[in-house]
Each structure stands twice: as structure tokens, then as C-alpha cells.
Amino acid sequence: MSKRLFVVFSLLIIASMVLSACATPTQAPPPPPAETAAPAATEAPAAPAATEAPAAPAATEAPAAASGEPIKIGILAPLSGANPTFGVSTRDGSLLAIKEWNAKGGVLGRKIEAVIADSQCEADPAVNAANKVIDQDGVKYIVGEVCSKASIPISEIVNEKKVVQISPTSTNPSVTVAQDGKVKPFTFRACFIDPFQGTVMAKFALEKGYKTAFIMFDQGNDYVRGLAEFFEKAFTEAGGQIVGKETYTSQDTDFSAILTKVAESKAEVLFLPDYYPIVNLVGAQAKDKGVTAVMMGGDGWDSGDLDVKAADGGFYSNHYDPGDTREIVQSWVKNYQTEYGGATPDALATLSYDATNLLLAAIQAAGVDDPDKVKDAMAALKWEGVSGTITFDANHNPIKSAAVIGVKDGKKSYIGTVNP
């Protein structure tokens, strides 16, 4: 792996030099060509309200009649709480997949109904939301959660109640693997995992010539703590040195004491693998304090609400880039923009779309509305998603590449892709 990464990164460095030389923003995809343009963005319907099934779209051909009771898909998303853009994107990506399936006649000849619950990216609300959709709404299939901290407790419930779960974006290894090292049979994910993501950023930092790093992390967040550990391991194993490590809590808003230590440590990299609201706070305070370390992080930075000024000069790993020129990516970006008033889908929306498609394809492949059969069909599935081709390893993790994104002068730019 390291040799391959080395080669890829050498190419990346060149690619990034070329990219910054021509300073072409890759974030904004080209507008759709006029002849294929879908209805004006302003006419796009808003996301359906919670627990409402999306309205069937106007199809040009009559879809096959969907009969019988609808198949319910629970969408557990953090619609409130600290990271609301995560929930909105996840809900919207999933609803668009369901809408497309319904337009083609549903699944197993039955209509698909979305049951949305706010799981807040936290353990207790996530447990309540999972129990509610399973026990009260009769959901047998769940897309969610976004955050590992919420997906892990949900996975305990679904494996006890035999409900299939696919998390679009939870990257901590413990989401799909129990403490005894056994795979959780009913839990899957549509994303890569943090040991890979941590290695990608560690090698990226070293390839850029940085040899020292300071790590800041939230001890109480499975994802943040895990990614910090995986980065440290990969960075030190490849010859880098960790010159400082400090913890904080999700309630903290003043990071000046830690940032003083970062400045004193003269670290070249400040690794901050948290979600965007913390990155916004830390980044702004670091700039005020004159911290010169280059900030780096993981997929948690991915949000339309990432403060690009605060994160300026930073880099993070992510699951996809909307500027990717592959046809499947560009038609997805276009469809999403048409549906949601011109919004560009972030990684969460994209992975939620892929996860929902995977789940519905597994139900279709199983040929029966039975979670026990669907989980087996899912484990054997190969699906070409927008975020890459997905097949599951023995631990129900897809093997996928990561995109490295740089934040510079108000723009997020694609730097390159790293394969496992």
C-alpha cells in the first residue's frame, strides 16, 4: 500500500501544482446543456416534510403499477443538533433515490415510503429514533446515521431486532464490527473506513514535506478519536513525528489554550479530524493567534457551511468530488440540482443516495421483503454508485478510493484521488 500511495502522491503533488497554477475551481460543475436542461431550478420541489412519502414524479411513461403495502425505509439523519447540514443532505440524497425507484414502479412491485427521524448525530436521540421507526412505524430497513457516534448504538438495536442498516457515511470501524471482532450481520456502510482515511492524510502530509504534526481531538466522539489515532499511527510509522496532542469536548468554544501549545510546538501540520462547526471555530481562532501549521482533517469537514476563510490553506479527505467528470457523477449533480433548487450535492447527499440505492437493490435481489434474506443479498451485491463501485468485504465495508480536497482563497479544489 505505501509504495502505491507514494506513487499516487507524487502524481498528486504534480497535479496540485498544475491545478493551483491554472486556479480552475473544480467545485462548481458545468451547467447542464440547454437541450437536456430540466425544469428551472426555482421550480424544483422542496424536500418533502418528515414522515411524508415523496410525491411520485411525473413520468413520461406509465410506471409499472406498485401494489400492496408500501415498503418503508427509515432515514435516520441529524436534522437538528450541532451539524444540521449533515442531516439535510442525507435526507435529500435518500429521498431522491426513493423517488427514482418509485417512478420505476417501486421495489418488489410495491411503493417505497420514507420514514424520516431526527437522530441528531448523538447516541441517545439516535437510539430513540431507531426504536421509534422500528417499533412504531414498522420499518425493517434503515439508512443512517451519518455520525459514527450515532450509528454504533443504532447497530446494536438493529442486530437485536433483525433490521437491515446501511450507514451512508459512518467511517469508524466499530460501526460494522462488534467488540469481539465479529461482523454485525445486519449492518453495512457505503463508505470507506477511518484507518484508510487516516493513512491517506498522513501520507499526504508527509508527501508535502511536513514531518511534524499536532493532533487536536474530541475524546468523546468515536469518529474524531478514532481518526486521530489512525492518523497518528500512519504518520509515525511512515517517519513523521507527533509533537503535541490535546483533547477538548464538543461543548468547548474557546481553543486558545490549546492553540498556544500548537504555536509553541512549531508543528507543521495541525490535524483536526472533527466536524465542520469545530473546524470553523478552531480555524478562525488559529488564524487570530498566528498559528502557521497547515490544518488537515477528514470527511467531517465536508459541508456547505464549512467556513472557507477559517479553513483556508487546509486539506481534508472526502468521499467524492462534484467536479469529477465521470458521466455518472455529472448526471447525479445535475439531477440533484434540478430537484433541490440548484444545490450541489455534497458527499453526504451522494453517499446517502448510493446507500439507499444499494438497500433497494438488495431488497430487489432478495426477491422478498425479509431483512434476513435482504442482508444476505446485500453482502453479495455489486453496485455501481456515484461515489464508486461498491462491493462489501467480510466486515461489510466497501473498498473505495478517497478524494483529497484543498481549501484555498474561498474555494474547495479537488487535489487528487487515492486508491486503497
CA distance 275 to 278: 6
CA distance 89 to 79: 9
Name which of 196 and 223 has its Cβ closer to ligand PHE: 223
HSE value, Cβ hemisphere, 13 Å, CA-based, for 62: 3
Q: Is 300 in the site for ligand PHE (CB under 6 A)?
A: yes
Block residue for cell numbers 481549501: 407
Among 16, 119, 171, 350, binds ligand PHE (CB under 6 A): 171
DSSP state of 23: T
Considering only the stretches 15-23, 203-211, 261-269, 297-305, report the one whose residues sit in contact with ligand PHE under the rule CB under 6 A: 297-305
Q: Which residues contact 333 (CB under 8 A, 6 or more apart)?
A: 29, 322, 344, 345
Q: Is 196 in the site for ligand PHE (CB under 6 A)?
A: no
Q: Is 169 in the site for ligand PHE (CB under 6 A)?
A: yes
CA distance 176 to 27: 32
Q: Is 172 in the site for ligand PHE (CB under 6 A)?
A: yes
Q: Is 119 in the site for ligand PHE (CB under 6 A)?
A: no
Site for ligand PHE in 37-56 (CB under 6 A): none
Considering only the stretches 249-257, 295-303, 365-373, 408-416, report the one whose residues sit in contact with ligand PHE under the rule CB under 6 A: 295-303
Block residue for cell numbers 439531477: 335
Name which of 86 and 332 has its Cβ closer to ligand PHE: 86
Name which of 338 and 350 has its Cβ closer to ligand PHE: 350
Whether the CB-CB separation of 44 and 338 falls below 8 Å is answered with: yes
For the bound state, the minimum distance from the C-beta of residue 29 to ligand PHE, rounded and expressed in Å, comes to: 19
CA distance 155 to 163: 9
Block residue for cell numbers 440540482: 337
Name which of 52 and 393 has its Cβ closer to ligand PHE: 393
CA distance 304 to 312: 14
Q: H helices then E strands: how many in the chain?
A: 11, 14
Give SS3 for 181: coil
Query: Residue with CB nearest ligand PHE?
Result: 223
Whether the CB-CB separation of 400 and 419 falls below 8 Å is answered with: no
Give SS3 for 72: strand
Name which of 166 and 267 has its Cβ closer to ligand PHE: 166
Q: Is 187 in the site for ligand PHE (CB under 6 A)?
A: no
CA distance 286 to 411: 19
Interaction pattern, residues 72-111, with ligand PHE; x per rule: CB under 6 A: --------------x-------------------------
Site for ligand PHE in 219-258 (CB under 6 A): 223
Radius of gyration of the chain (CA): 21
Q: For residue 174, what is the enclosing H or E element? A: none
Q: Is 148 in the site for ligand PHE (CB under 6 A)?
A: yes
Among 95, 154, 348, 405, binds ligand PHE (CB under 6 A): 348
Among 116, 164, 347, 402, binds ligand PHE (CB under 6 A): 347
Considering only the stretches 27-35, 164-172, 207-215, 238-246, report the one whose residues sit in contact with ligand PHE under the rule CB under 6 A: 164-172
Block residue for cell numbers 448504538: 153
Considering only the stretches 41-49, 94-102, 199-207, 294-302, report the one whose residues sit in contact with ligand PHE under the rule CB under 6 A: 294-302
Binding-site size, ligand PHE (CB under 6 A): 14
Considering only the stretches 52-60, 94-102, 141-149, 200-208, report the one whose residues sit in contact with ligand PHE under the rule CB under 6 A: 141-149
Whether the CB-CB separation of 359 and 378 falls below 8 Å is answered with: yes
Give SS3 for 63: coil
- From first CA to last CA, the distance across the chain in angstroms is 7
Site for ligand PHE in 120-139 (CB under 6 A): none
Among 5, 146, 306, 311, binds ligand PHE (CB under 6 A): 146
For the bound state, the minimum distance from the C-beta of residue 401 to ligand PHE, rounded and expressed in Å, comes to: 15
Q: Is 387 in the site for ligand PHE (CB under 6 A)?
A: no
Name which of 177 and 347 has its Cβ closer to ligand PHE: 347
Q: Is 413 in the site for ligand PHE (CB under 6 A)?
A: no
How many residues are recorded in the chain? 420
Q: Which residues contact 149 (CB under 8 A, 6 or more apart)?
A: 121, 122, 123, 221, 222, 223
Closest residue by Cα to residue 149 from 92, 93, 86, 199:
86
Q: Is 190 in the site for ligand PHE (CB under 6 A)?
A: no
Tell me which residues touch ligand PHE (CB under 6 A): 86, 146-148, 169-172, 223, 299-300, 302, 347-348
